[in-house]
Amino acid sequence: MKRIGILTSGGDAPGMNAAIRAVTKTAIHHGLEVFGIRYGFAGLVAGDFVPLTAEDVDHKISQGGTFLYSARFPEFAQEEVQKKGAEQLREHGIDAVIVIGGDGSYHGALALTRLGINSIGLPGTIDNDIPYTDYTIGYDSACRTAMDAIDKIRDTASSHHRVFIVNVMGRECGDIAMRVGVASGADAIVIPERPYDVQEIAETIKQNFADGKDHGLVVLAEGVMSAEDFRKELLKYGDFDARANVLGHMQRGGSPTVEDRVNATKMGNYAVNLLLDGKGGLAVGMDGGKLNTHDILDLFDGKHHGDFTLLDVNKEMTKN
C-alpha cells in the first residue's frame, strides 16, 4: 500500500476535520501518500481527488464542518456506480480508503472493500446512532451547541413564565435529546425510542409552576414530531404560554469540543494502522473509551442502544 484516500459523506459533523488531519499525518508518518476525495462518493465517482500534505491539515483540527465537503449520493447504491468509483481509485493509484460518515456511508465503504479496495469506516454523525459504538464524531459538539442554545432560551422563558418545547436533531435516535435534556434541567425529555404521556408532562409542568418554578422546558427529539405539533398537544392539557423552537442545523456547526477532537484523532490514527495491517470492511468504534472494530456488515443488522437511564434520572428529579 502506497497511497490512500479519505472522504466525508452524509451530514457534516464537528470533528471530521480532526479525523482527516489524523489520517493524513499518520499516513505520511508511515511513508504513504494521501489524497482527499471531495464531495463524498459523488466526488469519488467523478474523480475529484486532491493531494493532502501535513501542512494542508495542520490547522484544521479546530475547524467545524469538513473541508473536503460532503454530498448525498444515493446513486452509489448501484453496483455499476460502485465499480466506477473503484475504477477511479485504481486509475489514481489509490489502494485503500477511509470513509467518515454515518450508516449510509458505511454501505459505500463495504462495497469498495468487496471490489478489492480495502476501506475503513469512521463514525462521523452528530446523531450518535451507529451500532456497536458508544460515541460518534460530532455528537459531543452537537450536544454542547444545543445545551448552549437552550441555556439562552431558558433566560427568556424565565423572564416571561413561558414553556418552551425545544426540538433537537438526532433523526430516530434520542441520544442528543437525553443528554442535553439532563444537562439543561428539562421538565421532560421526549424521544422516539420510549413511550411518553403528554398529559403527564403537562401535569409535571403545572406542579413545577405551583412549586415556584418560573419556566417550563421540554426537550424533544426530532424523530417524535415537530415542536409545533407537540406544543398543540401540550395545550390540550393546560393553559400554558408555550412556544415551539427548532434548533436545526446549527447543531452541526461550530468548533469541535475537546472530546471530539481527541476521539476523532484517535480513530483516524487507528484506521490508518488497520489499513497498514491489510484490513478492510471494518467500522471503528469506541466501547468504554477504548477503540474497537466490527465488521461493517454486522452494523446493518445491529441496533444502537442509548443510555436510557438518563430518562429515569431526569424523571426522578422532576417529580416532587
Annotated binding site for substrate: 125-127, 162, 169-171, 222, 243, 249-252
Detail the residues annotated as belonging to a binding site for Mg(2+).
103
Across 33-152, the runs of DSSP E, i.e. the strands, are 33-37, 49-52, 96-101, 118-123
84 by Cβ neighbours in 10 Å (0-12 / 13-18 / 19+) ranks as middle
Across 187-305, the runs of DSSP E, i.e. the strands, are 188-190, 216-221, 242-246, 282-287, 290-295
Catalytic residue at 295? no
Integer Cα distance of 61 and 90 in angstroms: 29
Of 99, 12, 25, 20, whose CA–CA distance to 64 is shortest?
A: 12
DSSP string, 29-63: HTT-EEEEETTHHHHHHHT-EEEE-HHHHTT-TT-
CA of 68: how far to CAs of 33, 99, 224, in Å?
17, 12, 32
Detail the residues annotated as belonging to a binding site for ATP.
11, 72-73, 102-105
Residue 283 main-chain phi, psi, to 5 deg: -115, 130
Residue 257 main-chain phi, psi, to 5 deg: -70, 170
- SS3 of residue 162 by DSSP: coil
Which amino acid, 128? N
Residue 87 main-chain phi, psi, to 5 deg: -65, -40
> In this structure, what C-alpha cell is assigned to residue 203?
401535569
Detail the residues annotated as belonging to a binding site for ADP.
21-25, 154, 185-187, 213-215
Which one is catalytic: 12, 127, 129, 140? Answer: 127
Detail the residues annotated as belonging to a binding site.
11, 21-25, 72-73, 102-105, 125-127, 154, 162, 169-171, 185-187, 213-215, 222, 243, 249-252
Residue 142: enclosing H or E segment and its boundaries? helix 139-160
List residues with catalytic annotation. Answer: 127
